[in-house]
Amino acid sequence: MLNNGDRAPDFELPDADMTIAKLADYQGKPLVLFFYLRDDTPGCTTEAIEFSDLEHDFLRLNCTVVGISRDDCIRHGAFRDKHGITVRLLADKDGIACRDYGVLVNREVDGVMREGVNRTTFIINGQGDIAHVLPGVTPKGHAAEVFKLVKEL
């Protein structure tokens, strides 16, 4: 797991429209990266909608919010359109960014060990360093908590 003060790992991932996003695209301004389990699950939907509801507030602070999961671009597009999600969703199908950010965990599901995402948010400052790591996130109210931290940067 990464810690406050660590350099944020670069990433190069497609979004729901298959446009590639890189960490360098956000250089010079704060970036919120929220890693979530899966599109269209109750907690992930709550989290993505709350970030979308606050997106204009984040933008007033010159901060962009981006969600990352292991779902593919098509699933991201359907999730976005179904729930009116406005924050950018990136597809990490191979789990490369998830591994680089240290958010993959092994969980037992129906008696079988599976690799999954530990819901974690990273606040990255304009210099590309991690200002805050928030692991094991509870979705309800999380976006407001993150907004307060971004205001303090």
Q: What is the pLDDT of residues 77-90, one digit of tens each?
A: 999 999 999 999 99
Residue 69 lies in a domain: yes
Residue 86, Cβ density class (10 Å: 0-12 exposed, 13-18 middle, ≥19 buried): middle
Is there a contact between 22 and 10 (Cβ–Cβ < 8 Å)?
A: yes
Q: Is 73 a catalytic residue?
A: no
- Looking up residue 22, the CATH number of its domain turns out to be 3.40.30.10
Residue 33 lies in a domain: yes
| Residues spanned by the domain of 35 | 12-151
Residue 5 lies in a domain: no
Residue 81 lies in a domain: yes
Residue 52 lies in a domain: yes
Residue 82 lies in a domain: yes
pTM, full prediction: 0.94
Residue 2 lies in a domain: no
Give the total number of structural domains in the chain. Answer: 1
Q: What is the pLDDT of residues 96-113, one digit of tens each?
A: 999 999 999 988 778 888
